Amino acid sequence: MLFLSIALTAAVATATPLQRRAPSGVPSFVIDYAPVVHLFSGEQYKPADIGAQLANTKPEVNAATIANAPNPLTLDNLNALNGLGGANVYLTSTSDVTTNPGWLKGVTPDASGKTGGANSSVIVVNDHGNGNVDAFYFYFYAFDFGGIYFGVNVGNHVGDWEHTMVRFVNGKPSQMWYSQHSNGEAFSYGAVQKYKGGKRPVVYSANGTHANYAIPGTHDHTIPNVNLPLGPLEDHTDAGALWDPALAAYYYSFNAASQTFTPYDSSTPTNYLYFNGHWGDAQYPTNDKRQRCVLGISQLCKYTGGPTGPLDKQLNRTSVCPDNGNECIVRPILTPK
């Protein structure tokens, strides 16, 4: 018994902190190769607790509060809104976002990279069979600051779901996807930066927009599927505060045939993943005093609509890129485009 006790103690001591925090059943390679994120050094809107979004919003359809919605709304009952407006439901801020309320700013990661007291990440594992596994790493922020373009602030919205995805073959990482606005970039795993020279890929989160990039610097995204070093629609990334999303995450497996999620820990909430509405305000109309639209163009408004959740992010892809009609270019080297 003494030998067994010593052996168990040694096993726990040699396990990484991340392995000890993840629920049992999560494939070890999903943990070993989980990305780490560098927030921009001047980032105001940091990762946020997913459940806290519900405490600071109310469900609306066509700017009218849903009277018979569950009260309080929780991660366990959010999917009830699918029968009360579904895709037309917006989780609308209960405070004026122009006052920049504190809850929009999220949580600053601690020295270990953990968002203490805030589950700000969702990790979804889709096993395609035959040794092929996709691991999605979702990152949640309470607010997206769209940026300043030609001196005008456009594209802000409440709620922000971003993600990266690592494609594994027989437990080995082969390719990685970085979401960026309406599209993104893919690289071979061998090409991407690794944290401290180890296994874990590095992600650079853009200032305000939280678009994910493989390198620091300036990224122009004016042309879809093209990332240039300079231009009118720029994202900015650098090696700011380290965030380790896997330290405070909800973990699930995903069944593509049934479109269902199964938590690796039975205490983990799941129903919120089936909510097919929007995690923020609807786009404010042009007669709202908070709204400004360049040349009256809807896509160039100061405030746009909130995003949909992880289920709407193509969790069962053919390639590492979303199946959106664009060519899937898997870059073998790190370049701006």
DSSP string across 2-46: HHHHHHHHHHHHHS-HHHHHSPTTS-HHHHHT--EEE--TT-SS-
What do you get for the CA distance between the two ends of the chain, in Å?
A: 59
User: In this structure, is residue 334 part of a structural domain?
Assistant: no
For the chain, the domain total comes to 1
Q: What is the pLDDT of residue 151?
A: 82
What is the reported pTM?
0.92
Token pair, residue 259, equals 């479109």
Each residue's pLDDT tens digit, 75-131? 999 999 999 999 999 999 999 999 999 999 999 999 999 999 999 999 999 999 999
Which candidate, 103, 47, 101, 88, places its Cα nearest to that of 305?
Answer: 88
**Residue 10 — pLDDT band, cuts 50, 70, 90?**
very low
Count CA within 13 A, CB hemisphere, residue 296: 0
Q: Is residue 41 scored above 70 in pLDDT?
A: yes
User: In this structure, is residue 22 part of a structural domain?
Assistant: no
Domain ranges, residue 107: 34-313
CB 161 within 8 A of CB 313: yes
User: In this structure, is residue 293 part of a structural domain?
Assistant: yes
**Residue 8 — pLDDT band, cuts 50, 70, 90?**
very low
Distance, CA of 128 to CA of 256 (rounded, Å): 8
Token pair, residue 90, equals 């917006």
| Mean pLDDT score, 159-174 | 98
Q: Is residue 143 scored above 70 in pLDDT?
A: yes
Token pair, residue 168, equals 């594994």
User: In this structure, is residue 136 part of a structural domain?
Assistant: yes
**Residue 22 — pLDDT band, cuts 50, 70, 90?**
confident
Q: Is residue 21 scored above 90 in pLDDT?
A: no
Q: Is residue 12 scored above 60 in pLDDT?
A: no
User: In this structure, is residue 26 part of a structural domain?
Assistant: no
User: In this structure, is residue 220 part of a structural domain?
Assistant: yes
Q: Is residue 146 scored above 90 in pLDDT?
A: yes
Rg (CA), the chain: 20
User: In this structure, is residue 320 part of a structural domain?
Assistant: no
| Mean pLDDT score, 240-266 | 97
Distances in whole angstroms, Cα of residue 318 to Cα of each of 168, 224, 328:
13, 20, 10
Mean confidence (pLDDT) of the chain: 91
User: In this structure, is residue 193 part of a structural domain?
Assistant: yes
Higher-confidence residue: 156 or 3? 156
Q: Supply φ then ψ for residue 120, to 5 degrees.
A: -115, 10
Write out 77-126 in H/E/C secondary structure: CHHHHHHHCHHHCEEEECCCHHHCCHHHHCCCCCCCCCCCCCCCEEEEEE
Q: Supply φ then ψ for residue 157, to 5 degrees.
A: -160, 150
Tell me which of 13-22, 97-106, 151-160, 321-330 is least confident.
13-22
Distances in whole angstroms, Cα of residue 51 to Cα of each of 136, 142, 233:
20, 10, 32
- Percentage of the chain beyond pLDDT 70 is 90
Each residue's pLDDT tens digit, 293-337? 988 888 889 999 999 999 999 999 999 999 988 889 999 999 765
Q: What is the pLDDT of residue 118?
A: 97
Q: What is the pLDDT of residue 335?
A: 74
Residue 263 one-letter amino acid: P
Q: What is the pLDDT of residue 226?
A: 66
| Mean pLDDT score, 219-233 | 68
Distances in whole angstroms, Cα of residue 158 to Cα of each of 81, 111, 286:
18, 27, 17
Q: Which helix (H) or strand (E) holds 54?
A: helix 52-55
